[in-house]
Amino acid sequence: MPLPRPGTRSVRLRSVAVVLLVLAVGCAGILAVLLGRRHTGDGPRHITVEVSPSRCGQGWTRPAPGVQTFDLHNSSAGAAEVYLEDPHSRAVYGEVEGIGPGTTRQLTVRLGKGTYAFLCVPDDADAVTGPSVRIGSGRRGPGAAPVTEHDLIPPAIAYQKWVGSGLDRVVRLTATLRRAIDRGDLAAARSAWLPAHLEYERLGAAYDAFGDADRRINGTDAGLPGGVHDTGFTGFHRVEYGLWHGQPAAKLRGPAAALAGAVSELRDSWSQTRMDPAQLGVRAHEILENTVQFELTGRTDYGSGSNLATARANLDGTRQVLSRLRPLLTTRYPHLSFLDRELDRAQHTLDGLRHGGRWPAPDRLSRVQRERTDAVLGDLVERLASVATLCDPRRTV
């Protein structure tokens, strides 16, 4: 199997409570949620709450403001999701998915003045709202209005149109690359390879919708029996390997023609493709998650040393997704301005590594440069996980 590319993996995040606690509780609260640790002493009080169609939300009898942990026990015969929400505005304060029958999962949240109710969503039955609970004091806890799949359709359509125009550019740039190889001008081909590849990399959130075409266009040799010499190794990286490992033009004409054909075929079929709107927020996170995993480590370098340029293109692609999601995030994500600053910081960090229009390979960075780049991009990936969670459409009926 080829290495995963940005946007090819579907990751369903565990709980919106993690996002909300980032804003409200801090690191100790986050660790409590992630580790499922029971709190004693001055830690959050534990409240056992039932999860079932007939007794959803039963057990919360003494509401109080502050940080608290709910032990959500599924007493039904099937798995269920649970949301803690405002029953009037439908703002979500916490969420736990996939609570198996007979099991207990924890949800840690900070609550303040307001009305709350648990919404139990069984896998194969209608959603049930439990009794409302009123807290009369304290600051209102952080909540996020739920996003529905209907909300995501307009940004998905807008993004899909942008991808279509991007594919037009990829086709033109790939044709330039092919012509240089056809006439035997490998120096010109090396110059043409990077712009074409970067244009494709900017389309990262659409990779899952590309299907098998992405493997043919941008796959690696990972998992192939013959490695870089395997006939299944195709696309940009196959051409890259040949251009930077001394292969003659005669040996590269076939791979270049196959690449140009695959890109044109994808462009021509794109108008008939439908992206899954529910995946848009996740893809915004995955583009840079995979960038950290593959580009910053140099694992997808086949000779051009252009991984940092690819990382910069991936950052551009992330901004394109977020620009379409911004109308939804503006009313749901109070730290959106901080996210913008993190994006600018990542861009400034990557741009600072380029000298005279040339990008160094990751293994050419100093230790300080590498650590700074890893830290900045890693922090941004964590911030984008919040976007993915907030844009995860939720079932309410």
Strand partners, 355: 358
Give the residue, 300 or 6, on which the prediction is more confident: 300
**pLDDT value at 22 more than 90:** no
Nearest CA to 208 out of 218, 194, 199 is that of 218
Give 350-374 pLDDT, tens digit per residue. 999 999 889 999 999 999 999 999 9
DSSP assignment letter at 366: -
Residue 142: what pLDDT?
Answer: 65
Torsion sign over Cα 15, 16, 17, 21: positive
The amino acid present at 247, given as its one-letter code, is Q
Q: Confidence band (pLDDT; 50, 70, 90) for 9?
A: very low
* DSSP category for residue 180: H
Confidence of residue 147 (pLDDT cuts 50, 70, 90): confident
Dist CA 83 CA 287 (whole Å) = 28
pTM equals: 0.76
Decide: 186 and 249 in contact? Cβ < 8 Å: yes
Place 141 in a pLDDT band, splitting at 50, 70 and 90.
low
Q: Are 140 and 16 in contact (CB under 8 A)?
A: no
Asked whether residue 28 carries a pLDDT value surpassing 60, the answer given is: no
- Strand residue runs (E) in the chain: 45-51, 66-74, 80-85, 92-99, 104-111, 114-122, 128-129, 133-135
49 close to 118: Cβ distance less than 8 angstroms: yes
Picking from 110, 105, 5, 111, the residue whose alpha carbon sits closest to that of residue 51 is 105
Measured CA distances, 98 to 12, 93, 102 (Å): 11, 17, 12
State mean pLDDT over 70-78. 94
129 in Cβ contact with 119 (< 8 Å)? yes
